[in-house]
Amino acid sequence: MTGNLDEVQIGEIVKFKENFEALEKRKKAILKALEEQSVLTQELTQKITNSRDLIELEDLYLPFKKKRKTKAETARLQGLEPLAKMIMSQRVNDLEYTASKYIKNDVDTLEDALEGARFIIAEWINERTDIRNNIRRELERFASISSKVIKTKKDDDKAQKFKDYFDWSESLNRIPSHRLLAILRAENEGFIRIKIEVDSERLLQRIENRIIRSQNECATQIEIAIKDAYKRLLFPSLSNEALSNAKENADENAILVFAKNLKQLLLGSPLGEKRVLAIDPGFRSGCKVVCLNAQGDLEHNETIFPHEPQNQKIEAIKKISFLVDAHKIEAIAIGNGTASRETEQLVQKIQFKNTVDVFVVSEAGASIYSASKIARDEFPNYDVTVRGSVSIGRRLQDPLAELVKIDAKSIGVGQYQHDVDQTKLKKSLDTTVESCVNTVGVNVNTASESLLSYVSGIGSKLAENIVKYRNENGSFKSRNEIKKVPRLGGKAYEQAAGFLRIKNGKNPLDDSAVHPESYHLVDKIAKDAKKNVSEIIGNKEILKQINLQHYITKNIGLPTLKDIISELEKPGLDPRATAKVFSFDKNIKTISDLRIGQLLPGIVNNITNFGCFVDVGIKESGLIHVSNLSDTFVKDVNTIVALQQQIIVKVLEVDVVRKRIQLALVK
């Protein structure tokens, strides 16, 4: 129906539509306000109606906007507007004599009269759209942002992470988004002061050239008013606007990076339905061990103390070995937090009877999940340490199904997530999660309420109803049965059905991305091929021979037919790769073990615009700056590396004091 537009393109259309609707809503509000003030002319109506953006619209409204008591308003109340008009006409020959006529009431002196008139003129200059746009263009092209440390905070320990910005200056239109957000955070935390700067002399000269047409006393007064308007009204307002626009662009950039990272993380490689022993490692408090069945259900939990200060290594090895045998464990998941390397090395020493793969799994956000309502509802009789370990194990089995339970902001990918526009961030991340869930598809008979809530058309309330129906009536036998869920109407079903899978159901198409509204078409294709539906599913030879042109109708076009055939070739296939075992360098345990020139295995654990961070098996992640990712220019870091990618890096620099590691990509 959309001419094969993808979801990103449709998302852009939706965004454009929302912006358009916001603009139209603001136009109506302004027109109504102007009508109530009885100042709405036909010309002004036309300008407002034809306006294409909010800035232009607000500039048109500015002269009529109800203001708090300004210097210009006070001057008007003193009766000085006629004098201001005469000065602006630049045709007054004896300004002193003319102005002296306005010395009365609250206007005590000649200078008071001229000053009041200048305040009114300054306001007129501030409200001129052409002047405002001229300054905007200048700021857009030539403004710089500079920062200076607040002297009393220079030696503050917390300020040291912003040390690079204690004396900084850079073009505002070229500053990378991450640097602008860092500078703004430093300012918000009270460590630096920032300034927007531009060539003010050149701008003042341009304004004078637009307004001053004489060389008399009026010109002198207008020149003073221009400087006042620029310093007091125009520059503060428009420089703030320029900074706000730069911040908005930086937000969009940061949110885009965050969304890309989140997508890669959610679509990370699942181990699948395997029995897992998960360990949340620790020193003093011990390692919390849980055993999960293939469906992720908790079967057993206990705590072992293999590390300092207890050092019960032999007991821990015996216990893990016993649990692996007793629960027929196929893989072990170890959280990557405190004591992770020590626990991994301990586990790798154990001689298991059968092959047991060992994985190190990111703990990011596990503590958020373990203390959440979702976790309490799932495990009301267990404490947060058990829930955290379960989350680590389930992440290995299926990252997507587990990570959707955590607020996306807390998963730990991206940068400055707390500094960007929170509404836009949430919207973007929710859309990303929904896209990932729909890309993979959801087993409606096993999916959690959290996972189901991200299926298009479902939402949290319907997800709750689906789980409740499932608990009361048993597994769904067909997609059609989903319609029986209370309050799940035709529209919701139409949106969701293609993403909900029924494993081993009556109709094999129920375990595919083919939508029920197209089942009749697949039946026809199978019938024409003299086969039943189950015989053509996965049969590439038969599917290649189908002439799709025969099946094009008024409502079904070639893009839909191609999608259906593509899905029939690999019905319900998970698009994600399978999880692979990875081992860090056994000799690297802390940052002090690193040496310049070393080659190390690592896993990409975060991607930013300026490079990527790599886990090399210690507490601190190393940075591969964008300049060290390739011998050629890199525009987008995501074209070189992906989140969770296993790579080889070279150590370039180690700063033990600041705990910073510089790396280069080898392969």
Q: pLDDT of 521-546, one tens digit each? A: 999 999 998 999 988 998 888 998 89
Q: Which of 331, 363, 397 is the last residue of a domain?
A: 397
For 212-262, the pLDDT digits (tens) are: 999 999 999 999 999 999 999 999 999 999 999 999 999 999 998 889 889
- Does 388 map to a domain? yes
Mean pLDDT, rounded, of the chain: 92
- Does 343 map to a domain? yes
pLDDT at 274: 94
Which range, of 92-106, 366-380, 405-419, 620-634, averages the lowest pLDDT? 405-419
pLDDT at 413: 74
Checking if the pLDDT of 378 tops 80, the result is yes
Checking if the pLDDT of 51 tops 90, the result is yes
Q: How confident is the model at residue 67 (pLDDT cuts 50, 70, 90)?
A: confident
pLDDT at 500: 95
Which range, of 207-211, 284-288, 579-583, averages the lowest pLDDT? 579-583
Strands 442-443 and 646-655: unpaired
Checking if the pLDDT of 572 tops 90, the result is no
Strands 276-280 and 298-304: unpaired
What count of other Cβ atoms lies within 10 Å of the Cβ of residue 527? 11
Checking if the pLDDT of 323 tops 80, the result is yes
Checking if the pLDDT of 416 tops 80, the result is no
List alpha helices for 411-502, DSSP H: 422-440, 449-453, 459-473, 490-496
For 285-299, the pLDDT digits (tens) are: 999 999 999 999 999
Question: Which CATH number covers residue 25?
Answer: 1.10.10.650
Q: How confident is the model at residue 309 (pLDDT cuts 50, 70, 90)?
A: very high
pLDDT at 159: 83
Question: Which CATH number covers residue 329?
Answer: 3.30.420.140
Which range, of 49-58, 152-161, 372-381, averages the lowest pLDDT? 152-161
pLDDT at 129: 94
When pLDDT is averaged across residues 98-104 and rounded to a whole number, the result is 93
Strand pairing partners for 602? 647
Checking if the pLDDT of 304 tops 80, the result is yes
- Does 308 map to a domain? yes
Q: Cβ-count burial of 111 within 10 angstroms (0-12 exposed, 13-18 middle, 19+ buried)?
A: exposed
Q: What are the two backbone dihedrals, phi and then psi, of residue 611, each rounded to the nearest 5 degrees? A: 150, -160
Checking if the pLDDT of 519 tops 80, the result is yes
- Does 287 map to a domain? yes
Checking if the pLDDT of 415 tops 80, the result is no
Checking if the pLDDT of 332 tops 80, the result is yes
- Does 426 map to a domain? no
When pLDDT is averaged across residues 23-49 and rounded to a whole number, the result is 94
Checking if the pLDDT of 78 tops 80, the result is yes
State the residue range of the domain holding 46.
7-64
pLDDT at 2: 84
Q: How confident is the model at residue 395 (pLDDT cuts 50, 70, 90)?
A: very high
| Count of structural domains within the chain | 3
Question: Which CATH number covers residue 644?
Answer: 2.40.50.140
pLDDT at 178: 87
When pLDDT is averaged across residues 613-629 and rounded to a whole number, the result is 92
Q: What percent of the chain has pLDDT over 90?
A: 71
Rounded CA Rg of the chain? 33
Checking if the pLDDT of 414 tops 80, the result is no
For 488-503, the pLDDT digits (tens) are: 999 999 999 999 999 8
pLDDT at 509: 94
pLDDT at 595: 93
Strand pairing partners for 360? 334
Quote the Cα angle for 239-87-119, to 5°.
Answer: 40
- Does 364 map to a domain? yes
Q: How far is CA 179 from CA 164, 182, 185, 614, in A?
A: 10, 5, 10, 20
pLDDT at 594: 93
Checking if the pLDDT of 130 tops 90, the result is yes
Cα gap 439→270, rounded to integer Å: 14
Checking if the pLDDT of 556 tops 90, the result is no
Q: How far is CA 79 from CA 101, 226, 227, in A?
A: 11, 21, 23
Checking if the pLDDT of 321 tops 90, the result is yes
Q: What percent of the chain has pLDDT over 70?
A: 100
pLDDT at 314: 94
Q: Which of 46, 64, 82 is the last residue of a domain?
A: 64
When pLDDT is averaged across residues 114-132 and rounded to a whole number, the result is 96
- Does 173 map to a domain? no
Checking if the pLDDT of 634 tops 90, the result is no
Q: Which of 64, 88, 107 is the last residue of a domain?
A: 64
